[in-house]
Chain A
Amino acid sequence: MKMLESLSAFGGLVLLRDSVEWEGRSLLKALIKKSALRGDQVHILGCEVSEEEFRGGLDVNINSRLVYHDFFKDPLNWSKTGEDLPGGPLDVLRAICKRTDPGPVTVALDSLSWLQLHVPCTTLCQTLQALSYQYSSPGDNSSEEKVCVLGLLHEELHGPAPTGALSSLAHTEVTVSGTVGQAWVAHILYRRPGQLPACQTQWFSILPDFGLDFQKGPPLEPQTHLGPRKPEVDPTAHLTFNLHLSKNEKEAKDSLTLPFQFSSEKQQALLHNGPGQATSQIFYEPDAYDDLDQEDPDDDLDV
């Protein structure tokens, strides 16, 4: 239960993998809220949605702690306002990591997929790797200068090679999924250097204020079957033919002996041919021309 909560407590890259069906931005905002409440400096590189939409739903005091870098409105400088380019998202990321003021920092990349599509994969991986290398030395318990990077990755947009490269750089991967009910499911893969990877499945739900509510197990089955049952439709009603038997017909049917049933009465009748039994006999008077030759009854032997 603590894995999902403490994702942003360690430095390095955390991958949040989502899909069209199960979006991960809500979880990203929930984790950002946790970091902000913990006192981290929180930077957001917003490339996919507007700042207004990203900040929507978060409390005012949380929003005031977020430093938003807007790469959504004019990422390619089409507006040509003549101002100096603020620098691409990677420059901002490197600048955040080189800052001199102490304190833990959380950086949210919304989204890593956008960066993957616009920046050469090697450059992106090198930048992220420099981050992880700097802050994930084992035994380093000081959280003074850690930088945690939460990267939102849309699974369907990338082939296996870029996804594999990014996941090898991340110490934790969280795949967002869900069930038919209301609960979300996070499949967490946690890699600690020098240890075996650990997997965990965590059911949770996200509250309207982007708080996280953890659940112990899968949600209960929806209670629809306890509702009033629909009246069963009788398929034998309103037929144009008669399916029922009258009382006499039923009795006659029940008393009928089937030809293949071997009852004791039948056995006795067969064993003892009673006097009332008529045995059949054949009477034949041969004609004058009949030649009854027992050795050649069909008269076709050429002898």
Chain B
Amino acid sequence: MLAAPARPDWLPSADFARASFSRALELCCSSASVVSSTSPSGPGPLFPDLRMFPELNNLLNTAPDKAEQGRLTLLCDARTDGSFLVHHFLSFYLRANCKVCFVALIQSFSHYNIVAQKLGVSLTAARDRGQLVFLEGLKSSVEVFFQTPEEPHPLQFLREAKAGNLQPLYEFVRTALTPGDDGEAAWRCPVLLVDDLSVLLSLGLGAVAVLDWMQYCRATVCCQLKGNIVALVHDREDTEDEENDILLNGLSHQSHLILRTEGLATGFCRDVHGQLQIRWRQPTTQRDRSLTYQYKIQDKNVSFFAKGLAPAVL
């Protein structure tokens, strides 16, 4: 089954060549199982693209050396887990030599580190050299309750009885990503990554408070510092969660790129894990462009294909 598939109509030729080349790379790599985790700064000798999901880069028509700036990318998942996109963008921007501030509220640092190492990036090394600023929500939230710091803690809202705002968290992000005056290594552009925003609603904040925080982050990170923001929001379609809907729709109107993963409507499938819809929302007069693919998550990679054309079901 290693024969190249017949050329599908949905993929232009240059991307098709890249996609089949990277698919061949992935087949070679999975049999050779060579992943370099100690030198993420330079390309590996044989497998230069093994730092993120190369097929997703092809679909988004982007690469670490030509990442766009000033963009808000919204990740959204419905009936499935879209966190693989968070891991992709984390390793993508670290590979692109960007300074990353990761507000990680869902999992521990070691979890993200283990997955990043499969993608060829070491979060420990990135944090040590100052490229990665990691806010570990699970650990920090305990500190808020058992310590009384002089300055407001980024997650100070957890202690407030009435509905709070996220100004301390905004100050944390702004301090982390604003370039200092000490002549530190010039990173390409700042990136804010949030996993995820829906949990902030569960912790008692209102949708408007989260939208305000995102607006301040956009003003600083995207407009002033010309960086990027990537945020994950869960779409709970079956539960009528008005606050979540306001958050999701409000952010959708402000996003430049929306990546929406959905579980298949027919249920669980071993060979097709879900469907990814990519919507480019241009802030111009041209109408949006939207593409839909299905995907399968493997150990170290995610493979994408047109709807109904998974290799296993053909």
Most buried by B among A57, A75, A156: A156
Chain B CB within 8 A of A178 CB:
yes
Please, which residues of chain A bring their CB within 8 A of the CB of B149? none
Q: How far is the CA of A74 from the CA of B245 in the complex (A)?
A: 25
The stretch among B108-116, B184-192, B282-290, B304-312 that forms the contact with chain A is B282-290
Considering the complex, which residues of chain A in the window 64-89 have a beta carbon less than 8 Å from any beta carbon of chain B?
Answer: 72-76, 78
Q: Are B284 and A57 in contact (CB under 8 A)?
A: yes
Q: Which residue in A25, A154, A205 is a CB contact (below 8 Å) of B249?
A: A154
Residue-wise, chain B 277-302 has the 8 Å CB interface mask toward A (1 for contact) of 00001011101100000000000000
Q: Are A20 and B249 in contact (CB under 8 A)?
A: yes
Q: How far is the CA of A159 from the CA of B240 in the complex (A)?
A: 13
Cross-chain pair count, CB within 8 angstroms: 66
The stretch among B14-22, B85-93, B210-218 that forms the contact with chain A is B210-218
Chain A CB within 8 A of B250 CB:
yes
A156 to chain B, nearest CB (A): 4
Chain A CB within 8 A of B246 CB:
yes
Please, which residues of chain B bring their CB within 8 A of the CB of A157? 246, 249-250, 253
Chain B CB within 8 A of A208 CB:
yes
Q: Are A75 and B250 CB-contacts (below 8 A) given A52-B223, A53-B223, A118-B208?
A: no
Chain A CB within 8 A of B252 CB:
yes
Closest residue of chain A to B285, judged by CB? Answer: A206
Q: Are B223 and A50 in contact (CB under 8 A)?
A: yes
Considering the complex, which residues of chain B in the window 204-240 have a beta carbon less than 8 Å from any beta carbon of chain A?
Answer: 208, 211-212, 215-216, 219, 223
Q: Are A73 and B219 CB-contacts (below 8 A) given A20-B252, A78-B170, A154-B249?
A: yes
Please, which residues of chain A bring their CB within 8 A of the CB of B288? 21, 23
Closest residue of chain A to B208, judged by CB? Answer: A117
Closest residue of chain A to B247, judged by CB? Answer: A157
Q: Are A26 and B285 in contact (CB under 8 A)?
A: yes
Chain A CB within 8 A of B165 CB:
yes
Please, which residues of chain A bring their CB within 8 A of the CB of B252? 20
Closest residue of chain A to B212, judged by CB? Answer: A76
Q: Are A117 and B211 in contact (CB under 8 A)?
A: yes
Chain A CB within 8 A of B167 CB:
yes
B286 to chain A, nearest CB (A): 8
Closest residue of chain A to B258, judged by CB? Answer: A20
Total contacting residues, chain B, CB less than 8 A = 24
Closest residue of chain A to B170, judged by CB? Answer: A78
Residue-wise, chain A 26-58 has the 8 Å CB interface mask toward B (1 for contact) of 100000000000000000000011101100110
B172 to chain A, nearest CB (A): 13
Q: Which residue in B165, B211, B284 is a CB contact (below 8 Å) of A208?
A: B284
Q: Are B245 and A156 in contact (CB under 8 A)?
A: yes
B40 to chain A, nearest CB (A): 33
Chain B CB within 8 A of A210 CB:
yes
In this complex, the interface size class of chain A, counting residues with CB under 8 Å from chain B, is 20 to 34
Q: How far is the CA of A76 from the CA of B211 in the complex (A)?
A: 12
Q: Which residue in B283, B285, B287 is a CB contact (below 8 Å) of A207?
A: B285
Q: How far is the CA of A76 from the CA of B253 in the complex (A)?
A: 21
Chain A CB within 8 A of B36 CB:
no
Chain B CB within 8 A of A182 CB:
yes
Q: Are B285 and A76 in contact (CB under 8 A)?
A: no
Q: Are A76 and B165 in contact (CB under 8 A)?
A: yes
Q: Are B283 and A25 in contact (CB under 8 A)?
A: yes
Please, which residues of chain B bring their CB within 8 A of the CB of A117? 208, 211, 246, 250
Q: Are B253 and A210 in contact (CB under 8 A)?
A: no
Please, which residues of chain B bring their CB within 8 A of the CB of A154? 249-250, 253
B120 to chain A, nearest CB (A): 35
Chain A CB within 8 A of B69 CB:
no
Chain A CB within 8 A of B141 CB:
no
Q: How far is the CA of A159 from the CA of B245 in the complex (A)?
A: 11
Chain A CB within 8 A of B80 CB:
no
Q: Are A72 and B284 CB-contacts (below 8 A) given A20-B252, A154-B250?
A: no
A277 to chain B, nearest CB (A): 62
Q: Are B253 and A20 in contact (CB under 8 A)?
A: yes
Considering the complex, which residues of chain A in the window 97-136 have a beta carbon less than 8 Å from any beta carbon of chain B?
Answer: 113, 117-118
Q: Which residue in B167, B208, B219 is a CB contact (below 8 Å) of A50?
A: B219
Q: Are B284 and A26 in contact (CB under 8 A)?
A: yes
Q: How far is the CA of A116 from the CA of B103 in the complex (A)?
A: 29
Closest residue of chain B to A158, judged by CB? Answer: B246
Considering the complex, which residues of chain A in the window 164-208 have a beta carbon less than 8 Å from any beta carbon of chain B?
Answer: 178, 182, 184, 205-208
Q: Which residue in B211, B219, B242, B249 is a CB contact (below 8 Å) of A74?
A: B219
Closest residue of chain A to B216, judged by CB? Answer: A78
Please, which residues of chain A bring their CB within 8 A of the CB of B223? 50, 52-53, 73
Q: How far is the CA of A107 from the CA of B307 in the complex (A)?
A: 46
Please, which residues of chain A bring their CB within 8 A of the CB of B219? 50, 72-74
Considering the complex, which residues of chain A in the window 251-295 have a beta carbon less than 8 Å from any beta carbon of chain B?
Answer: none
Closest residue of chain B to A209, judged by CB? Answer: B285
Other than the given A23-B288, A156-B249, 6 more pairs (CB < 8 A) read A20-B249, A48-B254, A76-B212, A76-B216, A78-B216, A207-B285
Q: Please provide the 10 A-B residue pairs with the shortest distance between their CB atoms, ordered closest to farther.
A: A206-B285, A156-B249, A50-B223, A20-B252, A26-B285, A73-B219, A78-B167, A117-B208, A154-B253, A157-B249
**Chain B residues in the interface with A (C-beta under 8 A):** 165, 167, 170, 208, 211-212, 215-216, 219, 223, 242, 245-246, 249-250, 252-254, 281, 283-285, 287-288
Instruction: Name 16 A/B residue pairs within 8 A (Cβ), A-sorted.
Output: A23-B253, A23-B281, A48-B253, A50-B219, A50-B223, A52-B223, A57-B285, A72-B219, A74-B216, A76-B165, A76-B167, A76-B216, A78-B167, A157-B249, A157-B253, A210-B285
